[in-house]
């Protein structure tokens, strides 16, 4: 039976699978019946129509809060776990005074295709449509254990609670992947099938340090999804070799478009750049300029408080992305690059101007530019090229820690270099293309 809200599926799960484990985190477990009872209890804290900003965590408490907000008819705005307090306040104040359409369920903060952090409004219908796309496109099932290892304010992880709740499956939370033993313990959990989502850097790490151990789970891992940033073809091929029986998906999705298409690259062809056919709630059209545009029920409602910015990418029920792509004769989408200054670092989008603006407020910095360079682990990494005032010396730690006080951790560059000047175009703008072309 289809419901219009995710929390209605949770209620149904509590009724028909009361003793089934809904989620596991460390030594904690919760059944669907217990989870729904806690959600009802906590929902009394929230008011209908209220926007609730909260720090996300990869645990059962996150699920209770998230569902309780929906149960109360309020709007969930999960923010980065370690977001600086000043930024948390700034965002909370901004969204609490915003007018949000009634159908909105969540506001997720991302770096929009045009630059600074924007609140993307997601409706209940979008959530359910994303869930249905994943169930159909990746064959989620009731007896699946899904391991979530990424931040819950990011669509890549958050979206996994949509199909699992709709099917009454089990979620296993991990706080990141730094302790690989804990990941393998999760794989050992008694379940028929296990699946997970990895950003490309995690796949690189597993192949580098745990290839044999990963291979020993080849019959238990049902599928692995990757996305958010391009997976190198060599890693795709290696993963197919290590896990020959596992479906390995590359997905085209963003907070704004929702989950659009997915491709099982363990299909004997392992086509790089292929993102599969659009799923049932989605349609892809390639514009005359060769850019990917998307239609369907998974699209965002708009950017909160910013109708003008919304109109730059969402018109006629279509989202016009900056991604370049083609549809082949089989109807499969292939991505060819991106026409935007926004940098994708391990799946997180960063507007270089935001980093530069903060760095420029340091007294020793005369000029700077934030660029993207190749990195052996993350694929791409941020690098800050800094022009210092006379007599100053470069102190990477000081700059990095200053940026960390003002920005989310993923926006802080890993690499720093002192330069004589920043290259500019004839009209004085930073010549970002020069750095892109010279740092491939």
Binding site for another protein (CB under 8 A): 176-181, 201-202, 204-206, 208-210, 213, 346, 376-378, 396-397, 399-401, 404, 409, 412, 414, 416
Min dist. Cβ of residue 270 to another protein (A):
24
Residue-wise over 209-236: b if at least 16 C-beta within 10 A, else e? ebeeebeeeeebbbbbbbbbbbbeeebb
Ramachandran category for residue 337: left, alpha or beta (phi over 0 → left; psi -120 to 50 → alpha): left
Residue 355: partners with Cβ closer than 8 Å, 6 or more residues away: 370, 382, 384, 403, 407, 411, 412, 413
Distance CA 362, CA 344 (A): 25
Q: How far is the CB of 294 from another protein (least distance, A)?
A: 30
Please state, in angstroms and rounded to a whole number, the distance separating the CA atoms of residues 438 and 440: 6
> Can you tell me whether residue 119 is helix, strand or coil?
strand
> Distance between CA 302 and CA 414 in Å, rounded?
32
Residues 6+ apart with CB under 8 A from 411: 348, 350, 354, 355, 382, 403
For residue 177, the minimal CB distance to another protein (Å) is 4
Of 3, 101, 94, whose CA–CA distance to 53 is shortest?
Answer: 94
Rg (CA), the chain: 22
Environment class of residue 182 by beta-carbon count within 10 Å: exposed (0-12), middle (13-18) or buried (19+)? middle
- Cβ-based nearer residue to another protein, 91 or 199: 199
Residue 265 Cβ vs another protein, minimum distance, rounded to whole Å: 23
Whole-angstrom distance, CA of residue 433 vs CA of residue 420? 18
C-beta of 260: minimal distance to another protein in Å? 27
Q: How far is the CB of 316 from another protein (least distance, A)?
A: 40
The smaller minimum CB distance to another protein, of residues 326 and 377, is found at 377
Shortest reach from residue 247's CB to another protein, in Å: 23
Residue 256 or 356 having the CB closest to another protein: 356
The minimum distance between CB 180 and another protein, in angstroms, equals 4
CA distance 211 to 184: 12
| N-to-C CA span, the chain | 50
Shortest gap between Cβ of 10 and another protein (angstroms)?
30
SS3 assignment, position 1: coil
> The tokens 């708009």 sit on which residue?
302
């Amino acid at each position: 039976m289809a419901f219009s809200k995710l929390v209605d599926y949770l209620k149904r799960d509590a009724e028909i699978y009361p003793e089934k484990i809904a989620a596991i985190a460390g030594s904690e477990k919760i059944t669907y019946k217990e989870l729904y009872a806690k959600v009802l209890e906590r929902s009394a804290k929230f008011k209908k129509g209220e926007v609730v900003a909260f720090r996300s965590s990869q645990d059962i408490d996150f699920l209770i809060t998230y569902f309780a907000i929906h149960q109360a008819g309020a709007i969930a705005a999960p923010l980065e776990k370690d977001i600086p307090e000043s930024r948390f306040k700034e965002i909370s104040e901004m969204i609490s005074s915003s007018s949000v359409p009634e159908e909105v369920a969540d506001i997720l903060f991302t770096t929009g295709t045009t630059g600074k952090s924007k609140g993307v409004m997601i409706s209940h219908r979008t959530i359910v449509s994303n869930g249905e796309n994943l169930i159909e496109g990746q064959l989620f099932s009731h007896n699946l254990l899904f391991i979530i290892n990424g931040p819950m304010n990011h669509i890549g992880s958050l979206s996994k609670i949509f199909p699992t709740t709709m099917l009454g499956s089990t979620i296993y939370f991990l706080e990141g992947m730094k302790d690989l033993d804990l990941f393998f313990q999760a794989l050992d959990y008694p379940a028929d099938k296990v699946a997970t989502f990895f950003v490309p850097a995690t796949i690189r790490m597993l192949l580098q340090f745990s290839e044999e151990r990963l291979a020993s789970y080849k019959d238990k891992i049902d599928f692995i999804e990757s996305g958010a940033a391009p997976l190198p073809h060599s890693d795709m091929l290696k993963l197919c070799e290590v896990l020959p029986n596992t479906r390995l998906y590359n997905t085209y999705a963003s907070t704004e478009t929702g989950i659009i298409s997915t491709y099982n690259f363990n299909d004997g062809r392992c086509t790089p750049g292929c993102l599969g056919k659009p799923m049932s709630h989605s349609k892809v059209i390639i514009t005359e300029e060769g850019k990917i545009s998307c239609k369907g029920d998974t699209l965002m409602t708009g950017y909160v408080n910013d109708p003008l910015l919304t109109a730059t990418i969402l018109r006629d029920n279509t989202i016009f992305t900056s991604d370049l792509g083609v549809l082949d004769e089989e109807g499969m989408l292939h991505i060819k690059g991106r026409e935007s200054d926004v940098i994708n670092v391990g799946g997180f989008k960063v507007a270089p101007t935001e980093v530069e603006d903060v760095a420029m407020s340091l007294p020793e910095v005369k000029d700077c530019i934030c660029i993207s360079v190749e990195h052996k682990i993350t694929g791409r990494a941020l690098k800050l090229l800094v022009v210092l005032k006379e007599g100053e010396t470069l102190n990477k730690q000081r700059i990095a820690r200053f940026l960390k006080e003002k920005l989310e951790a993923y926006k802080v560059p890993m690499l720093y270099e002192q330069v004589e000047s920043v290259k500019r175009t004839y009209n004085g703008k930073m010549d970002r293309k020069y750095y892109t072309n010279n740092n491939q």
